Amino acid sequence: MNTNSPVYAQLNKAWKATCKVLFGEEIGELKEYEEWLKEYMSVTGKRKRKSHISGKDVTVVFDEYCKDARFVSLDEVKEKSIEPLTINEIKDIDRL
């Protein structure tokens, strides 16, 4: 962890603010908790799966998916998403 980078500085600032909210005080520098925070990160790294819609690569972080799981990329979800409800449709709870 490069503690001299501007990214680290921002993350450390957010870490301290979050700790202050959760615990009522700062509990230390972010770098002190690096190993604990990385505990559940994938050791094997990112994996590629094929999109069920297009067949293009989709990156997933974990391997803990069932063998028949299907994946789509975020841009495909946006393309295929439904139109938002109108105000009249939202008012009509029975239709929802």
> Tens of pLDDT along 11-67?
999 999 999 999 999 999 999 999 998 887 765 556 888 999 899 998 887 778 888
Same domain, 69 and 47: yes
Same domain, 34 and 62: no
- Statement: the pTM of the whole predicted model exceeds 0.75: no
Same domain, 28 and 52: no
Same domain, 24 and 60: no
DSSP 48: E
Asked if residue 92 has pLDDT above 60, the reply is: yes
Same domain, 34 and 76: no
Same domain, 30 and 54: no
- The parent domain of residue 53 ranges over 42-96
Dihedral of CA atoms 9, 10, 13, 16 in degrees, nearest 10, equals -100
CA angle at 88 for the pair 85 and 92, rounded to the nearest 5°: 95
pLDDT the model gives residue 64? 80
Same domain, 34 and 49: no
Same domain, 34 and 48: no
